[in-house]
Structure 1
Amino acid sequence: MSAAAPPRPARTPLRSMLVGGLVPTLPLVVVVPLLTWAAAGEWAAVSALLGAVLSIVVFVLGVVGIRGVLAGPTASTMAGAFSVFVLQMVVLAAVIWSLAQTTWLEVVPLAIAFLIAGLVFQAGLVVGFLRARAELDVDLPGDPR
């Protein structure tokens, strides 16, 4: 007699979206700085690494923030989502401004790595969301089968 398999954790849209965003983005944290190092030197690579990591942190916190917004009252969903977006941009601007005050940071590699990682993360979120959707099969009155 075989033992029953342990139950699989429920596949929530948030979990699926985060996995969909992180899986393709995490290799970029290694690849983009290495390519930048080969093209522009070590400080550009450090800046690119910082940009990629910053992108991942900002977007993961944004997804978690949206989860909190969606758990709240429905009437404030759009305002809450916009507030999360504005907060992300303000924090990001403050971090980039403070980093730009240093002498070692190269802004162009940081920005390029941030954009690449951000776009890949966003595409992964969409793929993760689409995979998390459940198909409904219902019979509606008046629909011929």
Structure 2
Amino acid sequence: MRTSQSRTGALSPARSMLRTSLGFSAASVPVIALGGWLLRGQAGGTSALVGALVAVAFFVVGALGVRAVVAGEPGLSIAGALVVYIGQLIGLVAAFLVLRGADWLDGRAFAAAAIIQTLVWQVGQVVGFRRGRHEIYPDVALPSGS
């Protein structure tokens, strides 16, 4: 029985990590875009917004993909995670190829925003993991008196 919640109703670590990271991202993306706009003008603000959103999309797809893989057959978890990672890289290269020729794109603002958003996402992952409920023996039936 694999669920996104424990028997006590607390969020699983994977769900808590995704939820916390999305919350941190929702707060940071506008700040990053504003910083890009203040430092590099309108093109910098737009580029920073796009860079931060591309990073968030990259991590959300990865988190959901790995969560789906881990919920399946345990023996395929590593291979499935590798497939998710390769798919993420293909998507990221495709995004870069699409944006490469854009006249409005400020490369420095885009890259800085993506890096900052990556750090924000990682902090959200750590905080979410620490807040998640970790079941040690999820398949063990508890006595009826507990």
Shared fold by TM > 0.5?
yes
Q: Residue 35 of structure 1: CA displacement? A: 1.3
The alignment covers a number of residue pairs equal to 129
1:93 CA displacement:
1.1
Residue 84 (structure 2) pairs with residue 55 (structure 1): no
Would you say 1:12 and 2:15 are equivalent positions?
A: no
For the aligned residue pairs, the C-alpha RMSD in angstroms reads 1.8
> Which amino acid in structure 1 is aligned with residue 22 of structure 2?
L
The one-letter code sitting in structure 1 at the alignment partner of 2:90 is: V
Which shifted more, 19-28 or 37-46? 19-28
Shift in Å at residue 117 of structure 1? 0.7
Aligned to 2:26: 26
Long gaps (5+) in structure 2: 1-7, 137-146
Q: CA deviation at 1:133?
A: 3.2
Separation (CA, whole Å) in 2 of partners of 1:132 and 1:24: 16
CA distance in 2, matches of 1:25, 1:77: 27
Distance 1:135 1:62 in 2: 23
User: Following the alignment from structure 1 to structure 2, what is the Cα–Cα distance between the partners of residues 28 and 91?
Assistant: 23
1:140 is aligned to none
Identity of aligned residues (%): 38
Partner deviation per Cα, 1:90-131 (whole Å, 9 max, x = no partner): 101111111111211112211111111112112211221121
Choose 1 or 2 for highest CA Rg. Answer: 1
Structure 2: which amino acid aligns with 1:126? V
Pairwise CA distance, 1:78 = 1.0
Match of 2:143 in 1: none
Deviations 1:38-88 (A, max 9, x none): 111101110000011111111011100001110221111111111111111
Q: C-alpha distance in 2, partners of 1:72/1:134?
A: 19
Question: Structure 2 length as normaliser, TM-score?
Answer: 0.80
Once the two structures are TM-superposed, the CA of residue 9 in structure 1 deviates from its matched residue by 5.6
Counterpart for residue 87 of structure 1? 87
2:69 alignment partner in structure 1: 69
Moved runs in structure 1, 4+ residues, more than 2 A?
12-15, 133-136
Please report the TM-score for the alignment, with normalisation by the length of structure 1.
0.81
Whether the 8 Å contact between 2:12 and 2:134 is mirrored in structure 1 is no
Q: How does 1:83-122 map to 2 (within 5 A)?
A: 83-122=83-122
Structure 1 position 135, deviation (Å): 7.0
The DSSP-based 3-state class of the residue aligned with 1:104 is coil
